[in-house]
Amino acid sequence: MDEDLTAADGRRRLDPFVFKAGFLDTLAEGILLIDSSGLITDCNRAGLEILSFSLEDLLDLPIKEAMRNAVHEDGAPFQLRDDPTMIALQSGESFSEVVMGIDVEGHARRWLLVSASPLTSDLMIEGAIASFDDVTDRIQQAHFLRLLLEVNRLVIVASDEVDFLQRLCAAIVEVPGYALASISFASSDSRGEMETLYAAGRTDYLYDGIWSWSGAEAHGRGPTGTALRTGTTQVANDLRTDPGCEPWRARALQFRLGSVVAIPFATGRRKAVLTVFNDHAHAFDQLMTEGLEMIAEEAEFCAAKVRSSKQLESVLDGTITALVRAIEVSDPRRADHHGDVGALGAAIAAQMGLDERLIALIRQSGALHDVGEIAVPPDARTLSEHFDGAASEIRRRHTHIGADILSSAALPWPLAEVALQHHERMDGSGFPAGLRGGEIILPARIVAVADVLESTSQAFDGGRDLTISRALATITDGAGALFDEDVVSACQSVIDGGFTFGSTPT
């Protein structure tokens, strides 16, 4: 055995072979040699730079200590059984391209793509060789892409702008894994103070603190206050030393916060600041900062979309209310019919598992399904849809008239289509087009059942429960031939579940 391969304690070191020749120092990826006990015996130049170690400090260090606080992409800590190097040492099998996040002294968390293979001699595992690439930029970009997609998804699921901004903070914490995200505004008073209205993560840090955006006092010269006052992004990459963070230094250390970025944006006419904290110092390099600035810009745009959407919904609700009142004025005898049809249609849609947006549209479609009857003479409205003659033909025209009214009002799908199709029947016996089966849109098939059940229940004498029960028998008798069987089945479940007209279904 060569003398330089034996340590003072008699333990045999792995032959660093080509390290001495300098070949591996020419590679961009890091290379580590580990002996059979899991101690590092050598590392190339790229590896030392990536890990921010000197060779002297790295030699004889356990591999776990070199890979400081290693975590998976989801933030879960690496166990020894997960470590590719330890797997290679224990099983003799190679393990390729495992993503591992590690803490690096003086830097943000770095993400490595690690592979490991055993080193054998005479069929004995004498150690392992590990290679690793710094893929931090790639992982960060992937995190930002997922966050960007989540921000855009929030436009659909958020109930209003307040809900959107709170969900945004939660997404920033959950997707990239930041410690704390908050959105602050200048207070409406004249004292130069800020109010943080939305936050997620280690939110206790924000409580009991003094917040200001006035530069006249120290509490206004921190990153968030300065960003609000100047309209420019502020970065404090080491809360232990940054002079602007002196008023909060002890509190930041208490909550294990290492760095912060504050990004100004706007929600409507109100100036705001998105503030994001990281566990690590030096977390917000140019790439990270630009990524979060992009998220803030997208959030500003998306908040405006949510706000506009809610304004449009308010206008839509007002339009629908006005149309329903016009129908009721034209036929006071059926004042409750339209709202009841909408309520039952929504309950059936919910029973069928349709999404909330479509349920709301079916409720609106039911409320407006007979809007065309505004143009039908009162005497013709009482005729059965199967009655022959000129008056019946006039009555049947209400489907076209209603569809024209709702189309002209630019109301969303399927309101106009339901007004047109709610008298169509599964066997083609309905009007105005004699559509069959799946040619009739599902919302129209639902409203058809709700319309007939509500109208039929008014034709019977007796208590409310009795009339609904008898009307339901009419619907079930027509299942398959006149009405969609699945819709009828859902209607049966809704009635059995206690639905009554004038109630609000869940």
- pLDDT 10s digits, 380-397: 555 444 445 444 566 678
Rounded to whole angstroms, the Cα distance separating 41 from 58 reads 8
Place of tokens 């809900």: 163
The band of 212, judged by pLDDT with boundaries at 50, 70 and 90, is: low
Instruction: Retrieve residue 139's tokens.
Output: 């992982």
Rounded to whole angstroms, the Cα distance separating 374 from 343 reads 21
The band of 487, judged by pLDDT with boundaries at 50, 70 and 90, is: very high
The band of 132, judged by pLDDT with boundaries at 50, 70 and 90, is: very high
Q: Are 420 and 406 in contact (CB under 8 A)?
A: no
Instruction: Retrieve residue 437's tokens.
Output: 């089966």
Rounded to whole angstroms, the Cα distance separating 79 from 315 reads 56
So what's the pLDDT on residue 83?
A: 84
Rounded to whole angstroms, the Cα distance separating 110 from 133 reads 10
Q: Which residues on adjacent β-strands are paired with residue 276?
A: 181, 261
CB atoms within 10 A of CB 474: 17
Q: Are 136 and 110 in contact (CB under 8 A)?
A: yes
Q: Is the pLDDT of residue 202 over 90?
A: yes
So what's the pLDDT on residue 172?
A: 95
Query: Which amino acid, one-letter code, is at 291?
Result: G
**Closest-CA residue to 288 (of 174, 177, 168):** 177
* Mean pLDDT, range 438-467, rounded to an integer: 80
Terminal-residue alpha carbon distance, the chain:
81
The band of 106, judged by pLDDT with boundaries at 50, 70 and 90, is: low
Parallel/antiparallel/unpaired status of strands 30-35 and 40-43? antiparallel
Q: Is the pLDDT of residue 94 over 70?
A: yes
Rounded to whole angstroms, the Cα distance separating 425 from 244 reads 72
Mean pLDDT lowest among 13-27, 47-61, 288-302: 13-27
CA dihedral (370, 376, 382, 383) positive or negative: negative
Q: Is the pLDDT of residue 207 over 80?
A: no
Rounded to whole angstroms, the Cα distance separating 259 from 178 reads 10
Q: Is the pLDDT of residue 160 over 50?
A: yes
Instruction: Retrieve residue 221's tokens.
Output: 């010269």
CB atoms within 10 A of CB 159: 11
Rounded to whole angstroms, the Cα distance separating 352 from 220 reads 55
Rounded to whole angstroms, the Cα distance separating 263 from 318 reads 38
**Closest-CA residue to 431 (of 401, 404, 398, 396):** 396
* Mean pLDDT, range 433-460, rounded to an integer: 90
**Domains in the chain, start-ordered, CATH in brackets?**
3-134 (3.30.450.20), 139-307 (3.30.450.40), 331-496 (1.10.3210.10)
* Mean pLDDT, range 75-100, rounded to an integer: 85
Q: Are 406 and 415 in contact (CB under 8 A)?
A: yes
Q: At residue 429, what are phi and psi to the nearest 5 degrees?
A: -85, 0
Cβ-based neighbours of 477, under 8 Å, separated by 6 or more: none
Q: At residue 131, what are phi and psi to the nearest 5 degrees?
A: -120, 145
216 or 192: which leads in pLDDT: 192
The band of 208, judged by pLDDT with boundaries at 50, 70 and 90, is: low
Rounded to whole angstroms, the Cα distance separating 453 from 478 reads 11
Where are any strands of DSSP class E within 341-473?
A: none
Where are any strands of DSSP class E within 210-306?
A: 234-236, 259-267, 270-278
The band of 331, judged by pLDDT with boundaries at 50, 70 and 90, is: low
* Mean pLDDT, range 347-359, rounded to an integer: 94
338 or 169: which leads in pLDDT: 169
Write the pLDDT tens digit of every residue in 15-39.
544 445 467 788 889 999 999 888 9
* Mean pLDDT, range 204-216, rounded to an integer: 67
Count Cα atoms within 13 angstroms, Cβ side, for 326: 16
183 or 80: which leads in pLDDT: 183
Q: Are 69 and 62 in contact (CB under 8 A)?
A: no
* Mean pLDDT, range 450-468, rounded to an integer: 71
Instruction: Retrieve residue 66's tokens.
Output: 């070199």
Cα angle 234, 236, 237 (rounded to 5 degrees) comes to 130
Cβ-based neighbours of 267, under 8 Å, separated by 6 or more: 161, 165, 300, 303, 307
Q: Are 198 and 165 in contact (CB under 8 A)?
A: yes
Mean pLDDT lowest among 115-124, 240-249, 370-379: 370-379
> For residue 413, what are the CA distances in angstroms to 45, 216, 382, 405?
64, 55, 28, 13
467 or 298: which leads in pLDDT: 298
Q: Where are the alpha helices (DSSP H) in 397-463?
A: 398-408, 415-421, 442-459
Rounded to whole angstroms, the Cα distance separating 24 from 353 reads 61
The band of 341, judged by pLDDT with boundaries at 50, 70 and 90, is: very high
Q: Is the pLDDT of residue 444 over 60?
A: yes
Q: At residue 67, what are phi and psi to the nearest 5 degrees?
A: -90, 75
85 or 351: which leads in pLDDT: 351
320 or 281: which leads in pLDDT: 281
Instruction: Retrieve residue 101's tokens.
Output: 């996040």
Rounded to whole angstroms, the Cα distance separating 472 from 452 reads 9
Rounded to whole angstroms, the Cα distance separating 342 from 350 reads 12
Mean of pLDDT over the chain: 82
